[in-house]
Structure 1
Amino acid sequence: MENYQDYLMENLEQLDKFTRVVAKVHGENHPELHVVRATFLQMKDAVETTPTADLRIYLNKIATITKNYTLPNDACQTYAATYELLKKASELAQ
């Protein structure tokens, strides 16, 4: 079984890019994406500083902000991919 920290490390750069793009493109209509981006950056800093850090607090916050990764009707493919990557990390962390 894959460790959620390893999964996040493997997908960190992609998530960094995706959260930045999605917040920029959709943030005006979905301001919660700016909070998702900020929380992701905190999580990224934590995992880069301490690879064994407990990241569940960040994942739980993102799950709450996104209403358990519920996509809005205007979500693009990158938006969906971002939520899917984060959701898998959350599931692995349980």
Structure 2
Amino acid sequence: MNDVKNYLDERHDKLDFYTKAITNAHGQNHPEVFDVRQQYVKLCLDARSGNNLDKNFEELRKTTNNYAIPNDVCPVFEATYHMLESADALNAAS
């Protein structure tokens, strides 16, 4: 759990910015990014509260189709999903 919290803390500014940016850039063609943004915010709150994050990552996997990268997106979109997937892997390992 601490590994995930540290990972999210270290990348908070970037992920916060990126999850907002992809809603602006890709929300029209990929409306699921609005859910990704909301789920990311909840994930951060739950991580800070010390809550179990299994449900958070389960929702993210469902929303992102297991972090599948669509063909028509920018590198920021791709990086966002990769960072969230890495946090998910850390959570699974803990």
Scaled by the length of structure 1, the TM-score of the pair is 0.88
Q: For residues 18 and 71 of structure 2, what CA distance do their matches in structure 1 show?
A: 18
Partner of 2:20: 20
- RMSD, aligned α-carbons: 1.4
Q: How many residues align?
A: 91
Secondary structure in 2 aligned to 1:16?
A: helix
C-alpha contact (below 8 Å) 1:5/1:55 kept by paired residues:
no
Partner of 1:66: 64
Matched, 1:39 2:39: yes
Which sections of structure 1, spanning at least 5 residues, go unmatched? none
Secondary structure in 2 aligned to 1:88?
A: helix
- Choose between structure 1 and 2: higher helix proportion: 2
Q: For residues 63 and 54 of structure 1, what CA distance do their matches in structure 2 show?
A: 16
Identical columns (%): 31
Scaled by the length of structure 2, the TM-score of the pair is 0.88
